Structure 1
Amino acid sequence: MDPVRLWLGTYPSSDDAPEQPSGVRRVDLLPDGTLVDRGTAAELPHASWVELHPSGRTLWATSETPDGLVVAYDVDGDTLTEVARLAAGGDYPCHLAIVAGPDDGALLVSNYGSGTFTVVPLDADGRPTGDGVTHVHLGSGPNADRQGEAHVHSAWELPGGAYAWVADLGTDELRRYSLRPDGVDGQVRVEADGVGARANPGSGPRHVAIHPDGVAFVVGELDSRVTTYLLADDGSGTVVGEQAACSSPPSERGSYPAHVSLSADGTRLHVTVRGPDVLATFAVERDAEGRPTVLRHLSDTPLGASWPRHHALVAQVGADGIVVAAASPAIPSHASVWHGADSPAGVPAGDDLVLVASQGGACLVAVRVAEDGAGEVVGRLDLPVKPSCVVVA
């Protein structure tokens, strides 16, 4: 099979050393599992998050700076060409999500610094069709150092496509937004709709993994825990469980989960945890009513690289270590599940290959996770910039 193309979001290499230009970077995953750095595809200051439109024709990136920007690129094979540059509607945009319909869609922009959430209308190819609409979050939490005001960190579409949750680290809330409120098929409209669920005070909800069977797993950056919510049809959530994000003790810097995702078949949950610098893996098991609400810790895989930020399931690998399937670019690799009709046809079962962006270590770490949850570091690619996000092209 051909190499798997990856787009990376990055930060500059250092504040006190000569910097390579940061921006969107391209890396290839070869069939034998080797990672090859292909260099900077588009220069952009502090391009910390990248998101590929389901069409595969447009890649969006944040510029996580004061008075932040979001930039759209036309994707032509290995080449990115800028086609739009818009204000993010706030400071330090740190996360992007795309809601797509048959005819149009929306880009969801989370602005950490200003506590704002911006919605940009998109066409069927993922290009903007107008200016963004910005929603302002207000509130605070009990952690004086981190929760003096709202800090919007990420947005996630819920099963069924009627609602999205926006995780606010500053207010300990999962704000609910309705999608397509005008009821017109194929047209995406986004409107604020109150609070979908409240997190534990001081927990600082950061990222979310959504199981298609109506369960959300939320990592708290500040309390280093995973909270499980059962989702209702009205976009609300009820807590049905919680536990530590990993079994490894905190380092001197603490313990701060960064990202959470599901395995290809939805039976394992992965969490990158900064401080202990591990990829934690949990079994996702069914409760007495058949719902995937029970987490059982399987392993913590030491990464040998500091401050692991984002990770993505990028491929399945066979017993010989050869890549047998890449994560579909039509399904967001940040937290996707292959199931039912979405499963790669004719692909034999294999272990998951998870790529972890080590911000502190300035490298990508490849982790092979077996069906029983056992993880093994099988590769590392050192980079001249600090990777912060990984997406399959």
Structure 2
Amino acid sequence: MRFLVGGYSADSGGIATGIGVLLAGEPDSGSAAGPLAVVGEAVSASSPSWVSWNEGTDVAYATLEAEGTVRAFRRIGEDRFAPLGDAVEAGEAVCHVAVSPDGGTLVATCWGDGRVVRYPLTSDGRIGRPSFAPAAVDPSAPGGVTGAVSDVEAAAAEVGIDLAALGLGGRGDAGLFGGRGLDGVAGLDGMASFGGMGGGVSGDADAAALTGPVDRPEPAEERVSRAHQTVFLTGGLVATSDLGFDLVRFWRLVDGRLQPLHDVSLPYGSGPRHMVWHPSGHLYVVTEYSCEVFALARDEAGRWRVVSGAPLGAGTLAGDSAAELAPSRDGAFLYAGVRGSNTIAVVAVRGAGETLAPVALVEAGVDWPRHHLVVRDTLLVAGERSDDVVSLTLDIRSGVPGRVRHRTSAPSPTCLTPLV
């Protein structure tokens, strides 16, 4: 199976010189379980940190992060690409780009300045003129859309639970589940508590071993919007994450522009980074700073809200930061990369998708697992700082990855994209 490999170039402290091509097993196989090899460079580019593929037009879209632009590349051979049009303005440190299911829209998110940018795509895949979505508002700032109270804290308040008094959530601590588990706290009994919030660690877990903050801002500090990812949902909805303001923002495409619907705020300083849409109708969000995963769902009025959450595991350490989130083939498990301790966290999806529970933390086999994806029973992991890609075999029954099966060198890899 073929994959495009995004990476950091010298302008971002890396050693990549463009978008690479990775073979996992046989080139035309639907499995990635075989030996790994980077067989060349698809196209030269400057820090193409994220690459998305549009099968309908044979065009790849890359974020040129250091330049603050996005660019299209057309496939001209089995493993070769060429620029399709010029690079187009995005924003500072643009880090993710996603193509709509109908192939007509591209949305970019920018870590540096928080921009969310929408582009029309022509029938042959060319990028049109950008339109910039309304900027995010920090809910913790004076005049913010929800004040200083996250939607998680608000849900607790509805049933008379003071998270701060219990050492949960709130500003500048270790996150909603980072200090204590919910199941062992008086008044919090798993799914019976505040609308399904539960599934965290048990109350007798070693609190000192649980997740801790990673450069989380103090309340007095001025925060910066940092848009990080886009997910296209069903029904024409779009979700974007804002790591800097602890927001998941929901949009609808109207007349070629992103029309804001509403925001969901997560605990202060948690840092929502990447998201996964699940067939159950839930949107799962991994938080970079607090190393947690949250489940969001729509209520009867059609508004999104947090319905559950869990820590990534009792083995994450202070200083760790979560990166990518990916589902298993059957959706029964979520896999989160944890940089620092260099592990993969396994989280079980239970019930009708509303309950999350940590299962295991295993060695990622790389330094700084920046990105990973699941192909059938294989987990491919990109090690940004170890300059390699590895494959781990997944146990179908337990969902837990095994030891490294195959490894290949890859320059500063930041993204793995199936090339089909």
> Aligned-pair distance for 1:62?
0.8
| Shift, 1:380, TM fit | 4.2
CA distance in 2: counterparts of 1:233 and 1:46, whole angstroms: 43
Q: 1:212 to 1:125 in 2, by over 3 A?
A: farther
Q: Aligned with 1:242: secondary structure?
A: strand
Q: 1: CA distance between counterparts of 2:229 and 2:57?
A: 22
Given candidates 349, 352, 368, the residue that maps to 1:284 is 349
Q: What's the TM-score, normalizing by structure 1?
A: 0.79
1:131 aligns with 2:99: no
- Name structure 2 gaps, 5 residues minimum: 27-32, 141-170, 172-215
What is the aligned counterpart of 2:24 among 23, 29, 40?
29
Change (3 A) 1:14 1:35: farther
What is the CA RMSD across the aligned residues, in angstroms? 2.3
Query: TM-score w.r.t. structure 2 length?
Result: 0.74
Structure showing the higher helix proportion among its residues: 2
Letter in 1 for 2:100: V
Give the letter aligned to residue 325 of structure 2. Answer: V
- 1:309 corresponds to: 370
Judge conservation of contact 1:229–1:238 (CA < 8 Å) in 2.
yes
Larger Rg over CA atoms:
2
Aligned to 1:341: none
Task: Provide the residue aligned with 1:293 in structure 2.
Answer: 354
Shift of 1:93: 0.6
SS state at 1:201 partner = coil
The answer (yes or no) to whether the contact 2:7–2:16 under 8 Å persists in 1 is: no
Distance in 1 (CA, whole Å) between partners of 2:238 and 2:302 is: 7
The structure where strand makes up a greater share of residues is 1
Deviates more, 1:167-176 or 1:380-389: 380-389
**Residue identity opposite 1:166 in structure 2:** T
Q: 1:20 to 1:240 in 2, by over 3 A?
A: closer
1:161 is paired with a residue whose SS is helix
Query: Are the aligned partners of 1:365 and 1:377 in contact in 2 as well (CA < 8 Å)?
Result: no
C-alpha distance after superposition, 1:338-386 (max 9, x if no partner): xxxxxxxxxxxxxx21111111211112111112112113334343511
Does residue 359 of the first structure (1) align with residue 384 of the second (2)? Answer: yes
Over residues 256-305 of structure 1, what are the superposed CA-to-partner deviations in whole Å (9 max), with x where a residue is unaligned?
Answer: 1101111111111111111121111122111xxxx211122222220232
Give the alignment of 1:5-154 within 5 angstroms. Answer: 5-12=2-9, 20-31=15-26, 33-55=34-56, 57-65=58-66, 67-75=67-75, 76-101=77-102, 105-128=104-127, 130-140=128-138, 143-144=216-217, 148-154=223-229
Q: Is the 8 A contact 1:271 1:279 kept in 2?
A: yes
Does the aligned pair in 1 maintain the 2:11–2:47 contact within 8 Å?
Answer: no
The within-5 A match list for 1:171-320 is: 171-179=245-253, 181=254, 189-232=256-299, 236-250=303-317, 254-286=319-351, 291-313=352-374, 315-316=375-376
The answer to whether the Cα contact below 8 Å between 1:100 and 1:124 also exists between their aligned partners in 2 is: no
Aligned match of 2:403: 377
Indicate how the Cα distance of structure 1 residues 93 and 15 shifts in structure 2: closer, same or farther if over 3 A, else same.
closer
Which residue type is aligned with residue 90 of structure 1? G
Q: Distance in 2 between matches of 1:48 and 1:233?
A: 39
Matched with 2:148 is: none
Contact 1:216 1:231 in 2 (8 A): no
Q: Deviations over 1:232-266 (max 9, x none)?
A: 58763221111112331316xx1211011111111
- Which of 228, 232, 235 is the matching residue for 1:161? 235
Q: CA deviation at 1:200?
A: 1.3
The list of structure 1 runs, each at least 4 consecutive aligned residues, that deviate by more than 6 angstroms after superposition, is 13-16
Contact 1:255–1:274, Cα closer than 8 Å, also in 2: yes
Note if contact 1:147-1:171 (Cα within 8 Å) is conserved in structure 2: no
Task: Measure how far apart 1:166 and its partner are.
Answer: 0.9
Contact 1:196/1:235 (<8 A) preserved? no
Q: How does 1:321-360 map to 2 (within 5 A)?
A: 352-360=377-385
Deviation at 1:149, TM superposition (A): 1.2
What is the rounded CA distance, in whole Å, between the counterparts of 1:364 and 1:134 in structure 2?
A: 35
Kindly state the Cα deviation for residue 43 of structure 1 after the two structures are TM-superposed: 1.4
Distance 1:232 1:216 in 2: 13
1:386 paired residue number = 412
C-alpha separation in 2, matches of 1:14 and 1:177: 33
Determine if contact 1:95/1:109 at 8 Å carries over to the other structure: yes
Q: Deviations over 1:44-81 (max 9, x none)?
A: 1111000001416111111111x511111112321111
Partner amino acid, structure 2, of 1:298: V
Q: Is the alpha carbon distance of 1:147 and 1:178 closer, same or farther for their aligned partners in structure 2, counting shifts above 3 Å?
A: farther
Deviation track 1:74-102 (CA, whole Å, cap 9, x = no partner) reads: 1232111111233332111101111132x
The AA in structure 2 aligned to 1:105 is G
